Amino acid sequence: MNYKVISFIFLSLLLISGGVILNNSYYEEQLTQLEDEKEQINKTNDSLVDQNEYLRSKETVTQEGLTMEEWQELERNADQMVTNSDGNFKKSWALFLNKKAKEYEVDPFIVYELLRVETGNTFDPELTGPETKYGHAYGMSQFMENTAPWIAEMAGLPYEKELLFDPEYSIELSIVYLDFLHHKYDNWDEALTAYHRGMGGLEKYKANKGHAASWYAVEIQEEAEKRRQVAFAN
């Protein structure tokens, strides 16, 4: 067999083996991409299941008339919030918060303290948070544009970015989201840490710390208890 024939055979084998390697590499890349897409779909499905379960649990939520005693409690709570905020949290906001919190059976002082922490004690409805890799957070409840739309949908509210700067809209979103998270986790440590870090961030925090009692969750619950005691003492 002459040299040219041997060279031709060698080159042919080399090209064939190279093609096999390239094909294998391509299929491995495609497989990895499909696995990533499957994982994302599973996460989306899990999220939709959680949302549907939450919505079913809230089908009986109504806006029944309040008794005189209930109105007095709302007024008392609202006055405590206004006083504690040095007037930064307006009485109309406080009354709205307490009525919505009662409607969803969420502790109003948990909501108030969350708003206080989120805004750095300012209760500024036009607040824009610092830039992060996920974007900015907006309004009194500091919602991001990747979170607010589906919470608004759960609440049965329209969504536009500008609405995040409306105090009552922002307050209602925070109550609905807190109610959703508390329904999902059945405790405030996990619910509040998930509000602050995201549900994925909560799982990472628990994996690192072994618990969900972040400074954020602890501070809000401790301060809420103080506000509650003062309100009931009056």
Residue spans of the domains in the chain: they are 1-57, 68-233
pTM here? Answer: 0.74
pLDDT band at 108 (very low <50, low <70, confident <90, very high): very high
Average pLDDT over residues 173-180: 98
CA dihedral 109, 205, 153, 102 (to 10 degrees): -20
**pLDDT score of 51:** 54
- The answer to whether 151 touches 169, Cβ cutoff 8 Å, is no
| Nearest alpha-carbon partner for 200 in 44, 32, 33, 37 | 44
Q: How far apart are CA 181 and CA 168, in angstroms?
A: 20
* DSSP code per residue over 4-24: HHHHHHHHHHHHHHHHHHHHH
pLDDT at 28: 62
With a cut of 80, say whether residue 90 has pLDDT above it. Answer: yes
Residue 100 has pLDDT above 60, yes or no: yes
Computed on alpha carbons and rounded to an integer, the radius of gyration of the chain in Å comes to 26
pLDDT given at position 16? 55
**Token pair belonging to 183:** 């329904």
Does residue 27 surpass a pLDDT of 70? no
Residue 24 has pLDDT above 80, yes or no: no
Confidence band for 62, pLDDT divided at 50, 70 and 90: very low
Give start and end residues of each alpha helix (H) in 121-214: 148-155, 167-185, 188-197, 199-209
C-alpha 214/C-alpha 197 separation (Å) is 10
Cα gap 89→101, rounded to integer Å: 16
Q: How far apart are CA 167 and CA 98, in angstroms?
A: 14
Residue 20 has a pLDDT of 45
Does position 221 have pLDDT exceeding 90, yes or no? yes
* % of the chain surpassing 70 pLDDT: 72
CATH code of the domain occupying 68-233: 1.10.530.10
Q: φ and ψ at 14, to 5 degrees?
A: -65, -45
pLDDT for residue 150 is more than 80: yes
The whole-number pLDDT of residue 204 equals 97
